[in-house]
Amino acid sequence: MIDAIQKGHAELEIRQQVSAERAEAVALVQHLSAREQQVLEMIAKGLTTKQIADALSLSPRTVESHRAAIAVKAGTSSAAELTRYWLDAQAD
């Protein structure tokens, strides 16, 4: 019985952590401009700066500027972390 209670408590803590991470991701994405959101989505899809630039008809330098702004707002420039933010924000 105690094991079941402890297991249930652990599961609740995990759900709360996931919920908090999702809320953080949603807040981050909402604070991005529409163009930054487009760039973030493409980063999450694994596109390179050049591919993003071509897809959005921008210069690679402009894409890098958007990436830098996203990195500042997210507190990370890691593509993996940025992808996690995007995916967490899109989760239902």
77: helix, coil or strand? coil
CATH class of this structure's domain 2-90:
mainly alpha
Where do the domains of the chain lie? 2-90
State pTM to two decimals.
Answer: 0.76
Q: Which percentage of the chain shows pLDDT scores above 90?
A: 60
Q: How confident is the model at residue 27 (pLDDT cuts 50, 70, 90)?
A: confident
33: helix, coil or strand? coil
| Residue-wise pLDDT tens digits, 49-77 | 999 999 999 999 999 999 999 999 999 99
d(CA 63, CA 69): 10
Alpha-carbon torsion (39, 81, 12, 31), positive or negative:
negative
Q: How confident is the model at residue 25 (pLDDT cuts 50, 70, 90)?
A: confident
